[in-house]
Amino acid sequence: MLVTDVETHRAIEAVWRIESARLIAGLAGVVRDIGLAEELAQDALVAALEQWPAAGIPRNPGAWLMTTAKHRGIDQLRRRTVLDRKHEELGRELEVEQEMTLAAFETATEDDIGDGLLRLIFTACHPVLSREQRVALTLRLLGGLTTDEIARAFLVPEPTVAQRIVRAKRTLSEARVPFEVPHGDELVGRLSSVLEVVYLIFNEGYSATAGDDWLRPGLCDEALRLGRILAELEPSEPEVHGLVALMEIQASRSAARVGREGEPILLLDQDRSRWDRLLIARGLAALERAEGLGGALGPYALQAAIAACHSRAATPEATDWTRMAALYDALAQLAPSPIVELNRAVAVGMAFGLAAGLHIVDALVADGSLRAYHLLPSVRGDLLAKLGRDAEAATEFRRAAELTRNTRERAFLLERADTSAAARRIGDRTD
């Protein structure tokens, strides 16, 4: 390929990234099947790859792709109609349905597309699909990522992702999931499924569950973009803004939470001058929007409010731990979970004394549900170390190191174990 061809291909790729979700959404609104919609969109992309290098990129590439995909769809339908007539297999009813789709193709306008995007998000995150399927389908259809890119981001083999997507599309089609935005009572549950998917993607990027990298920022950025798109499409839903606020604030710490050697740096030890002020401002603004919509804060907005306590403090000492403990208290009542309880223990430890925090952690240890979670011994170790109980702290850090699947984090925890063990020896000598 010539250099200019390579450049054109990159430019086409960029156009695809920008246009594909809207394109698929618009087409799915007509054909009522996201699998077929994606095929037609892909056909249009192939046509672009054939024609644009010679003809140049059209002035309105999105409209070009849509028109091309529509023509393909109409051609396919006509061919099928002719074929079906020949075989006399086509019932009158089906024929009417095809005619209607043809008409819909011909009248589909740009205006249908904004709403289509929201329908596409709700369909890709439909609860009939498994979590993995929802995540893969969302990144593929809304983010415009290739299966290979998704596979690399999640450290799984490409065929696994391809399978997930194929099965997800089949499930949606077999379950006859309507291509629509849910209403009324259904909306709440369906929206929380969407938000869950977005936050899962963010977290996979923010604290990689496996592998050598502590952070895979690409996924954080994808999730942030998805969240911001949702906030534009569903501006009256406080939890959407709550989730965006949470992600913006967490993302603001990306540069500060990883050290020179790639090791994780705990929030309170971070150099706050490395926090991204622009993202913090965006996060606080989103939180304000969530609060401004009235009603009690939901779980995402509460977590954002907690994160904001750190963002607002110029130094760790200035943190409003009492407020944070109260917010965790509210969160524990709204969405009780051992993980929330563990975080509450940290805040309570800071607000009302380490012993009070340790008390909550010990209850969690006795409860046993976080047995395999590395942050339980990690938090317990931290509290013990601060209380000067270094030998016990070292044991906890070692246990945490055994439990984590992340290489960087393991090294970090082993180092803390060594520090505690060393502190103990020094303590022994002075005693």
Query: If we measure between CA atoms, which residue out of 74, 53, 66 comes closest to residue 24?
Result: 66
- Specify the residue, 11 or 268, whose C-beta has the smaller distance to other proteins: 11
152 binds other proteins (CB under 8 A): no
**Inter-residue contact 387 to 354 (CB < 8 Å):** yes
Interface with other proteins (CB under 8 A), residue from 65, 150, 219, 229:
229
Q: Tell me the β-bridge partners of 211.
A: 406
CB 197 → other proteins: shortest distance, Å? 15
114 binds other proteins (CB under 8 A): yes
CB 329 → other proteins: shortest distance, Å? 33
Stretch that binds other proteins, among 151-159, 170-178, 202-210, 221-229 (CB under 8 A): 221-229
Which residues have CB under 8 Å from 228's CB, separation 6+? 244
Interface with other proteins (CB under 8 A), residue from 58, 182, 217, 338:
217
**Inter-residue contact 144 to 25 (CB < 8 Å):** no
Interface with other proteins (CB under 8 A), residue from 71, 152, 167, 225:
225
- Specify the residue, 177 or 251, whose C-beta has the smaller distance to other proteins: 251
**Inter-residue contact 53 to 5 (CB < 8 Å):** yes
Residues in contact with other proteins, counted by CB under 8 A, come to a total of: 27
Which residues have CB under 8 Å from 372's CB, separation 6+? 403
255 binds other proteins (CB under 8 A): yes
- Specify the residue, 10 or 80, whose C-beta has the smaller distance to other proteins: 10
Residues numbered 282-301 forming contacts with other proteins, rule: CB under 8 A = 282
241 binds other proteins (CB under 8 A): no
35 binds other proteins (CB under 8 A): no
80 binds other proteins (CB under 8 A): no
**Inter-residue contact 31 to 73 (CB < 8 Å):** yes
Q: How many angstroms separate the CA atoms of 358 and 136, rounded?
A: 39
CA angle at 123 for the pair 81 and 216, rounded to the nearest 5°: 125
- Specify the residue, 21 or 177, whose C-beta has the smaller distance to other proteins: 21
14 binds other proteins (CB under 8 A): yes
- Specify the residue, 244 or 324, whose C-beta has the smaller distance to other proteins: 244
Distances (CA, A) of 317 to 268, 309, 314, 350: 9, 12, 8, 10
Q: Six-digit token pair at 386?
A: 């601060």
Q: How many angstroms separate the CA atoms of 239 and 298, rounded?
A: 6
Task: Tell me the DSSP string of 302-353.
Answer: HHHHHHHHHHH-SSGGG--HHHHHHHHHHHHHHS--HHHHHHHHHHHHHHH-
Interface with other proteins (CB under 8 A), residue from 26, 205, 227, 242:
227
119 binds other proteins (CB under 8 A): no
**Inter-residue contact 217 to 254 (CB < 8 Å):** yes
Place of tokens 């936050």: 199
- Specify the residue, 61 or 349, whose C-beta has the smaller distance to other proteins: 61
304 binds other proteins (CB under 8 A): no
Interface with other proteins (CB under 8 A), residue from 112, 158, 213, 221:
221
Binding positions for other proteins, rule: CB under 8 A: 7, 10-11, 13-15, 17-18, 114, 217-218, 221, 224-229, 232-233, 254-256, 274, 276, 278, 282
